[in-house]
Structure 1
Amino acid sequence: MPVAVCSLKFESAHSGAQKIVYDSDGYHLVRFPYAAAEESYDPWKMHDPAAGGGASKYPDARSGLIWPSHDGWATLSALLYWAPDSRATEYRARFVRDPLNLSTRYDSTATTDISATGGGQYRSYTWQMFVHPGTPVGFKISARAGDTKIAVPITLAEFKMAIHTDVIRP
């Protein structure tokens, strides 16, 4: 079964903590460097700065996108480490088709809302869905104290997509 894979990694040890900038939907689109120094893997060029007919440079918003190289059934996974912040009481995350409204329209799925724990705030997420070339996918996050969004920096993030390209549709 052919599988096309894109694996992205952001690590504060290489790039400094990622500052959170909330979009109008109340979430931050996690950004990923284009350089291989962050242990990324992208032979199908799904995280290309010119993907989707645009131009991008890390850490702009487009650097948070994976542009599927094939139609198929995709397994999405993400890993996130938040910097310590005693103000945050909940952490949210979601996968979003076209998070910047560049092609089809914003379509979020698999939103997760988790209370803060007494230790570190380390989270992993998975979801599966159909993906298509021309519709980018992103991973968005939010830290909150009640209704107030808090700009808690992230120190590690990974975002991966594995597309099963031989899915048979009736």
Structure 2
Amino acid sequence: MATSGSTQGFGVRVCSLKRSTRQMIAPGTTYQIVQFPFGTAEPSDRYNMHQRRQPNGYVIDSANWDSDPRSGLIWPERAGWGTLQALMQWDPSDATEFRDQFVRDPFGFTPNPNDTTATDHRAVTSGGQYWTKVWGIFVDPATPLALRVAHNASAPVALRIAEFKLIIHYAE
């Protein structure tokens, strides 16, 4: 067991985002980033991983966060083992398939952009279209993360509620 103070700075870091307003997602195979509000609308961002002023200098207009896909980025506060979690609840539609994935660097800030992981293609269920997912990856402060979704309905479908969380564990 570690002695008191020997793991200072090694505790977990958490960023927990939630959108409880609908985001309209256009039909097709092109994934769209789920966007999240800032400030008091966030469940938890103690380590400033989801800020309007992003580490690369880009600033998101607080009045227009819902039209800026960069509002969906989580910038890891430090390197480590990241556990990604997501929740997606969709409005009823004529879709027969919903898709979701986590993506590293969706805007090409690093030499390895659009590195996707944990991609799921989900058939429609007889009840509501409500899903959760968990995935582990190594994360780095220079590489933002996002949750992306798509569907094959004949018209836009509202993502009713969404959550996106990153938990960073110390890793050597």
Moved over 4 A (4+): none
Aligned partners of 1:4 and 1:164 also within 8 Å: yes
**1:103 CA drift (Å):** 2.9
CA distance, structure 2, for counterparts of residue 21 and residue 41 of structure 1: 29
Residue 106 of structure 1 aligns with which residue? Answer: 114
* Matched-pair contact (CA < 8 Å) for 1:73–1:163: yes
Distance in 2 (alpha carbons) for counterparts of 1:107 and 1:93: 14
2:83 is matched with 75
| Candidates 137, 151, 166, aligned match of 1:161 | 166
Q: Which amino acid in 1 is paired with 2:77?
A: S
Identify which of 47, 70, 74 aligns with 2:50.
47
2:37, 2:27 → 1: CA distance?
Answer: 19
Secondary structure of 2:30's aligned partner: coil
Q: CA deviation at 1:22?
A: 7.1
**SS of the residue 2:157 aligns to:** coil
For structure 1, the residue ranges without an aligned partner over 5 or more in a row are none
TM-score, with length taken from structure 1: 0.86
The 2-side partners of 1:47 and 1:88 are apart by 31
Query: Are the counterparts in 1 of residues 86 and 163 from structure 2 also a CA contact under 8 Å?
Result: yes
Tell whether the 8 Å contact from 1:76 to 1:126 is kept in structure 2 after alignment: yes
> In structure 2, how many angstroms separate the alpha carbons of the residues matched to 1:133 and 1:65?
12
Residue in structure 1 matching 2:25, options 20, 26, 38: 20
Q: 2:99 aligns with which of 92, 97, 114?
A: 92
Gaps (5+ residues) in structure 2?
1-9
1:6-39 per-residue CA deviation (whole Å, 9 max, x = no partner) reads 0000002xxxx2112579x7101000001323x4
Q: In structure 2, what is the Cα distance between the partners aligned to 1:144 and 1:79?
A: 19
Number of residue pairs matched by the alignment: 157
Q: Which residue of 1 aligns with 2:33?
A: 29
| TM, length-normalised to structure 2 | 0.85
What is the RMSD of the two structures over their aligned residues, measured on CA atoms?
A: 1.7
CA contact (8 A) 1:22 1:28 kept: no
1:64 aligned onto 2:69: no
Residue 56 of structure 1 and its aligned partner are, at CA, apart by: 1.1
Deviations 1:29-65 (A, max 9, x none): 000001323x420011000111122111312111000
**1:50 aligns to what SS in structure 2?**
coil
Q: Secondary structure at the match of 1:63?
A: helix
State the distance in 2 between where 1:75 and 1:143 align. Answer: 25
